[in-house]
Amino acid sequence: MTSADQTTPSQTVAPWITAQLHSLLTQRGHAWLLAGPSGLGQYELAMALVRAWLCDQAGPAGACGVCASCHAINVHAHADLCVLCPETVLLDMGWPLGEKAQSEIDSKKRKPSKEIRVEAMRDAVEFAQRTSARGRGKAVLVFPAERMNVFTANALLKTLEEPVGDVKFVLATDAAHLLLPTIRSRCLGHTMVWPDHDTALRWLQAQGVPAPQAAVMLRASGGRPTDALLMAPVSDRWRLLPKAVLRGEVAVFKDWTPAQTVDALHKLCHDLLALKSGAQPRYFEVADLPTPGSWHSLSDWAKSLAQTRRTVEHPFNPGLMLEALVSQAQLALNSKP
């Protein structure tokens, strides 16, 4: 979550988000699908939209940031806003769970879900059918929308097609291809704008990131600013990572999650394959990369990492998984060209 949920939108929303917000607010529709690669601000744009829809004094630039409605969203207690996320995401961002879900988790009956549960969607459909508490309509925000399974998506379909009363939906995703075609067809699509390098760099510096560190983070994220901001804790090790992996040093990934580790290794593999083919690397500087190994070893490593991505959230032993990932990477990097 960004600081946009604690202060006024005009103070915190990135410039490329603001420009898209202005454009979307001039268009009519009851359901939007914000789609694009991760790190471009899908959640931030979705939240800016619902703020504007529900604001007591909204203008062409969006929500005022100071009215009772904006304050209610700031404290995550707006009666006319339903935020649908996986329970793990809601807890991370400070949004309340439903009473039943919170009770089940508190009593250790189950762990927080990493998917958007069908029960939560049914509650949202019921919410959408009730009368607006503040008289300015209702809003349902779904993020990340690809975390809806087929049952959850089907529970949304009819309401999305024929909403009852004054309710608007905004779905945000970085994997639109994983959504049901029927969900996509019932929404007005919006492709997220990719900010230019200088704009993204200035925005990172405005978040308090020193210029040299911001440049490393932006490159490491492939030019995606909000992803770059999440990489701040590991930015000091990024340029050291390729040759540390070459030596089999597991410690370079200290305090990284399995998902962060797999993502970093995937980027390293990508850049080595690019270098091998005579192209420029995207995520690392050429000087920081070791000599690429063989085509066969690098290709096999890429396929293995792609498979690991699909299961990275499973409850494996993190230590053993990290050792296996680094061992596999070291073998690929040390293969004969």
Number of domains in the chain: 2
The predicted structure's pLDDT at residue 6: 35
Asked if the model's pLDDT at residue 314 lies above 80, the reply is no
Mean of pLDDT values over 201-209: 93
The predicted structure's pLDDT at residue 12: 65
Q: Which of 47, 82, 51 is nearest to 65 (CA)?
A: 51
- Give the pLDDT confidence of 75-103 residue by residue, as tens digits: 999 999 999 999 999 999 999 999 999 99
> Token digits for 132?
């607006």
172 and 243 assigned to the same domain = no
The predicted structure's pLDDT at residue 313: 76
pLDDT band at 35 (very low <50, low <70, confident <90, very high): very high
117 and 57 assigned to the same domain = yes
Is residue 196 assigned to a domain?
A: no
Burial 230-267 (b: 16+ CB within 10 A, else e): ebeebbebbbebbebbbeeebebbeebebebbbbbbbb
Mean of pLDDT values over 246-259: 91
- Please report which helix (H) or strand (E) contains residue 65, including its range: none
- DSSP labels for 174-218? S-GGGS-HHHHHTSEEEEPP---HHHHHHHHHHTT--HHHHHHHH
Helices (H), 277-313: 295-311
pLDDT band at 335 (very low <50, low <70, confident <90, very high): confident
- Give the torsion sign (CA, 23, 27, 30, 33): negative
**Per-residue CA distances from 246 to 88, 272, 330 (Å):** 34, 12, 5
50 and 122 assigned to the same domain = yes
Q: Which of 119, 104, 105, 110 is nearest to 152 (CA)?
A: 119
244 and 180 assigned to the same domain = no
The predicted structure's pLDDT at residue 5: 35
319 and 181 assigned to the same domain = no
Asked if the model's pLDDT at residue 231 lies above 50, the reply is yes
Mean of pLDDT values over 91-119: 94
The predicted structure's pLDDT at residue 64: 94
170 and 259 assigned to the same domain = no
Looking at 165, 191, 217, the residue that finishes a domain is 191
The CATH number of the domain holding residue 21 is 3.40.50.300
61 and 179 assigned to the same domain = yes
Mean of pLDDT values over 198-226: 93
55 and 170 assigned to the same domain = yes
Give the chain's mean pLDDT.
91
pLDDT band at 47 (very low <50, low <70, confident <90, very high): very high
Range of the domain at 316: 239-333
Is residue 41 assigned to a domain?
A: yes
32 and 179 assigned to the same domain = yes
Is residue 202 assigned to a domain?
A: no
The predicted structure's pLDDT at residue 312: 81
pLDDT band at 308 (very low <50, low <70, confident <90, very high): very high
Q: What is the C-alpha separation between 149 and 117, in angstroms, rounded?
A: 8
